[in-house]
Amino acid sequence: MTLQQSLSIGAPELVLGAGALVLLLLGVFRGNDSVKGLSWGAVILFVLTALTIVDDSPVRELAWNDLYVADALSAFLKILLLVGAVASVLMAVPWLERTNVSRFEYPVLIVLSTLGMFVMVSANNLLALYVGLELMSLSAYVLASFHRDDQKSTEAGLKYFVLGALSSGLLLYGISLIYGFVGSTDFTQIASGLSAGGERNMGALFGLVFVLAGLAFKVSAVPFHMWTPDVYEGAPTPVAAFFASAPKVAAMGLFLRVALDAFSGMVGDWRQIVIVMSILSMYLGALGAIAQTNVKRLLAYSSINNVGFMLIGLAAATADGASAVLLYLAIYLVMTLGAFLCVLMLTDVDGRPVETLDDLAGLARSRPWLATALSIFMLSLAGLPPLFGFMAKLAVFNAAVDANLWLLAVLGVLASVVAAYYYLRVVKVLFFDQPAGVVVGASGEGTLVINKGMMLLAALFCSPAGYLLLGPLLSATRAAASSLF
């Protein structure tokens, strides 16, 4: 592989990296007054990056001494990441204008974090995986505490940093064990090394456990979920929306590649771990959300709950299971971004954010469109038909049944019933409780029309109209999943 070929294959990352440097220099010279222009510049950069990803060829290509892989899976995940990044940048513009934290570093950090996620989903080596994950995480730590004058925001950044450092240590320790017992950090060589030996490699198994623990932290899977509610509540709402969408997609995609590509010969071993994490995540997320009165904390537990459902598809360890996880990721991304867009528009008469459920009482009478959109997202997250979120859960349950994981599928259905309670409670508060009269700023100064447009598009996607896109989505997810088998 020549240098020119590697540069061509890695064009998306090169475009993002060069664009981040340009945006940073512009921000340094023009100051914080340029934050709106830089935000739109980041959006243009993301669009240009998307143009370098679109490739009709399903050929798997390796670059940079086999550290980097470009295939249908990485292309699909990168498109989802760009959707999440664009939405996170645009929804932050009115928030930055309304608060006293309008600093040019915000869009630059989003771009750098997205660059790290691109490296993650194209990693073909454990070391490349770690480099991408750390680039994403270092930017995320700063974003979590971006509102540095707010105590909750700085606390969220500190908690995320400390626990993130712990997960990175676990991941590195697992990588060192795998290298020591297999002799390589390359995914292809790990797979061939594990399949060549007739006996179970206990050292590699211990290493795999630590690697899965590090990845579980990034997807907020139980028992590595403890940071999620506090960080989502304390971080600025646009940042929490970013955390709940794009990094989740990248980490789950990486989960798929590591488990089904590098450790395909140890399915029987890691499947047990994934099943346990799936069950615990589904039920702890569902039960934990019931007691929440803060909408952002409720969405945090909803995120944990939905990760449990995604892990059902991974536990199937089949092409249909991987395709189901990717379909779930695509639908979950839009549902979550839409829900946080609604939360961002909830402000009181002084422009302060409104995040308590009691303060949303009777919102349908004063802001019927906002209440309707939030209800669509909540019911779609619950997986209630005929909303599009139903297809996500149906896909992972079907994959589990086809893999003879009947008990896991049944437990998933029961967890969906439990989770439906707290989603329906939000709808009940919005439409049937006496109006609290707190939310008055949903259409106030600084709210961009583009944010309302994104919320409308997300609501249409999650509604029965989303089934019009089911065919193309299934084709894309199946093509992406096939690159792992």
Structural domain spans, the chain = 285-485
- Exposure class string for 162-200: b at 16+ Cβ within 10 A, else e: ebbeebbebbbbbbebbbebbebbbbeebbebbeeeeee
Quote the pLDDT of residue 283: 94
Q: Rounded to whole angstroms, how far apart are CA atoms 302 and 382?
A: 9
Quote the pLDDT of residue 43: 94
Quote the pLDDT of residue 448: 64
Quote the pLDDT of residue 442: 45
Closest CA to 483 of 75, 118, 51, 55: 75
Contact 279, 249 (CB under 8 A): no
Contacts 24+ apart (CB under 8 A), 270-277: 270/208, 270/212, 271/315, 271/317, 273/209, 273/212, 274/212, 274/311, 274/314, 274/315, 275/311, 275/315, 275/405, 275/408, 277/216, 277/221, 277/222, 277/223, 277/308, 277/311
> Could you report the average pLDDT of every consecutive run of 10 residues in the chain (485 residues)?
79 92 91 85 94 70 86 92 93 80 87 94 92 91 84 85 89 92 88 70 87 90 88 88 91 92 86 93 92 90 94 93 95 94 81 80 85 92 91 94 93 93 91 76 55 90 92 92 87
Quote the pLDDT of residue 57: 52
Phi first, then psi, for residue 266 (nearest 5°) are -120, 35
Quote the pLDDT of residue 42: 94
